[in-house]
């Protein structure tokens, strides 16, 4: 398929170059710009020619490209749709009855699984946002890794969802993007200029233009954003690292909830029932719960099985207790299935047996923590607790 795309693009570019032959000859780009605001010596000009003549991108008007304008989400979804259709060797046909110009592209991308939800279409796309969309625009085999980018090597991805981090890493590893500076920072919350997008489009469609580079991950990277701690991009709440009292997602994150639904459906397909009995807890709720346990069993004993307020994983919206708070749950068909399969859905058993000195909590075969499928599988395969995997402690300061 890729050979067909390359040939298709070569024909398009050859035909599109004909009007410029007399001005520049056969050995280079035209000597006059295709837009009034894109000089021929601009660093991105060759990529602009490629993207423009292959039908991937156009100007804001016939004479203006606006190279420094930020890319919008509407433009990003259009580019994703056009890349996929160009890859498939077909032309995009826009419906005349569309309510807004980008509606057909949005519908196409949803139909092909490129996006799953709406974005604020008229707003500037963040780098993380457009990468989410572009990472799904082509089949996985056409975005195969060519670079060694270890998990945690990209320095500024803390606070992003596991799926967004995965999309960004996919484009880094495929040589589509390389970030900025010596540390290849992503700047995920910043916008991206239209001129930068032209280079990305070229690399998406032409593998020989992709960038080869390597990155090495620090031993572990700890970031604090808004009072929340991330280790290698993973949100941490344990006895060492706390959450602010006002950190309140209000429920399970959308990604965690979807993963939990999928896990329950997977268990049901095997004739089992796995269901949540405790999910999100606010700071105040955890404070009351902890004090009740301490009043009953004493603070030292309560600390073995209940988190102090601000230290509970349940406050993150990424932790779930399922089925039963009985240790015998581990030996039920549901408990055995959960231990064997939860990583497939992005969860780990957070507090394994015999690891209280490391995690800070007694064995809880019912408590699962969402990390995303890739990271969860790596943690499971390592045989380590999350603390051991990330090289952190779980000890109260007092």
Reported as a single tens digit per residue, the pLDDT across 154-205 is 988 888 888 899 999 999 999 999 999 988 999 999 999 999 999 999 999 9
Residues 117 and 240 in one domain: no
Residues 56 and 109 in one domain: yes
Residues 196 and 266 in one domain: no
Residues 46 and 145 in one domain: yes
Looking at residue 272, which CATH number applies to its domain?
A: 3.30.1380.10
Residues 205 and 232 in one domain: no
Establish whether 364 is a catalytic residue.
yes
Angstrom distance (rounded) from CA 338 to CA 355: 19
Number of C-beta neighbours around residue 28 at 10 A: 10
Q: Please indicate whether residue 58 or residue 12 has the higher confidence score (pLDDT).
A: 58
Task: Identify whether 176 is part of a domain.
Answer: yes
Residues 204 and 237 in one domain: no
Residues 135 and 161 in one domain: yes
Give the mean model confidence (pLDDT) for residues 6-23. Answer: 34
Q: pLDDT confidence of 5, banded at 50, 70, 90?
A: very low
Q: Which two tokens stand for residue 226?
A: 């808004």
Residues 29 and 175 in one domain: yes
Say which residues have a Cβ less than 8 Å from residue 354's Cβ, sequence separation at least 6.
363
What are residue 126's phi and psi, to 5 degrees? -75, 165
**Is the pTM higher than 0.85?**
no
Specify the pLDDT at position 97. 58
Specify the pLDDT at position 48. 95
Domain, as residue range, for 64: 2-209
Angstrom distance (rounded) from CA 121 to CA 349: 38
The three-class DSSP label of residue 28 is: coil
**Residue 33 pLDDT greater than 90, yes or no:** no
Residues 190 and 295 in one domain: no
**Residue 27 pLDDT greater than 50, yes or no:** no
Task: Identify whether 120 is part of a domain.
Answer: yes
Number of C-beta neighbours around residue 286 at 10 A: 20
Task: Identify whether 396 is part of a domain.
Answer: no
pLDDT digits (tens, 9 = 90+) for 380-389: 999 999 999 9
Task: Identify whether 397 is part of a domain.
Answer: no
Task: Identify whether 333 is part of a domain.
Answer: yes
Q: Which two tokens stand for residue 247?
A: 């950190």
pLDDT digits (tens, 9 = 90+) for 71-96: 999 999 999 999 999 999 887 655 55
Angstrom distance (rounded) from CA 245 to CA 226: 12
Q: pLDDT confidence of 7, banded at 50, 70, 90?
A: very low
Residues 319 and 195 in one domain: no
Query: Of 153, 178, 209, which closes a domain?
Result: 209
The count of structural domains within the chain is: 2
**Residue 224 pLDDT greater than 80, yes or no:** yes
**Residue 6 pLDDT greater than 60, yes or no:** no
Give the mean model confidence (pLDDT) for residues 36-62. Answer: 93
Q: In DSSP terms, which residues pair with 351 in a beta bridge?
A: 364
pLDDT digits (tens, 9 = 90+) for 284-298: 999 999 999 999 999
Task: Identify whether 398 is part of a domain.
Answer: no
From 75, 196, 364, 387, the catalytic residue: 364
pLDDT digits (tens, 9 = 90+) for 313-344: 999 999 999 999 999 999 999 999 999 999 99
Q: Please indicate whether residue 246 or residue 182 has the higher confidence score (pLDDT).
A: 246
Angle, vertex CA 317, rays to CA 314 and CA 323, nearest 5 = 60
Q: Please indicate whether residue 303 or residue 16 has the higher confidence score (pLDDT).
A: 303
DSSP-H helix ranges across 179-269: 194-205, 254-269
Residues 160 and 286 in one domain: no
């Amino acid at each position: 398929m890729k050979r067909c795309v390359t040939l298709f693009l070569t024909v398009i570019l050859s035909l599109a170059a004909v009007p410029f032959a007399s001005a520049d000859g056969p050995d280079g780009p035209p000597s006059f710009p295709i837009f009034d605001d894109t000089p021929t010596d601009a660093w991105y000009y060759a990529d602009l020619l490629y993207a423009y003549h292959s039908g991937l991108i156009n100007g804001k008007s016939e004479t203006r490209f606006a190279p420094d304008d930020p890319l919008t989400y509407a433009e990003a979804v259009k580019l994703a749709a056009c890349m996929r259709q160009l890859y498939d060797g077909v032309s995009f046909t826009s419906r005349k009855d569309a309510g807004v110009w980008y509606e057909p592209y949005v519908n196409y991308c949803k139909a092909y699984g490129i996006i799953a939800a709406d974005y604020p279409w008229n707003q500037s796309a963040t780098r993380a946002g457009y990468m989410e969309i572009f990472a799904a625009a082509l089949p996985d085999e056409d975005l195969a890794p060519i670079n060694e980018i270890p998990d945690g090597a990209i320095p500024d991805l803390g606070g992003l969802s596991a799926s967004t981090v995965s999309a960004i890493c996919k484009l880094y590893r495929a040589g589509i993007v390389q970030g900025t500076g010596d540390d290849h920072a992503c700047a995920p919350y910043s916008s991206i200029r239209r001129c930068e997008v032209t280079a990305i489009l070229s690399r998406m469609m032409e593998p020989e233009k992709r960038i080869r580079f390597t990155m090495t991950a620090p031993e572990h990277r700890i970031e604090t954003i808004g009072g929340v701690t991330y280790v290698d991009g993973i949100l941490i709440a344990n006895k060492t690292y706390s959450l602010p009292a006002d950190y309140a997602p209000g429920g399970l994150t959308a990604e965690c909830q979807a993963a939990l639904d999928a896990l329950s459906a997977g268990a049901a397909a095997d004739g089992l029932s796995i269901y949540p009995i405790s999910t999100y807890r606010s700071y105040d709720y955890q404070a009351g719960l902890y004090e009740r346990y301490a009043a009953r069993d004493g603070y030292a004993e309560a600390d073995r099985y209940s988190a102090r307020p601000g230290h509970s994983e349940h406050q993150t919206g990424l932790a779930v207790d399922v089925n039963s708070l009985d240790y015998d749950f581990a030996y039920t068909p549901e408990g055995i299935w959960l231990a064997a399969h939860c990583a497939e859905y992005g969860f780990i058993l957070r507090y394994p047996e015999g690891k209280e000195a490391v995690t800070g909590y007694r064995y809880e075969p019912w408590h699962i923590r969402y990390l995303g499928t890739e990271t969860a599988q790596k943690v499971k395969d390592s045989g380590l607790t999350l603390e051991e995997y990330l090289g952190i402690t779980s000890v109260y300061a007092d």
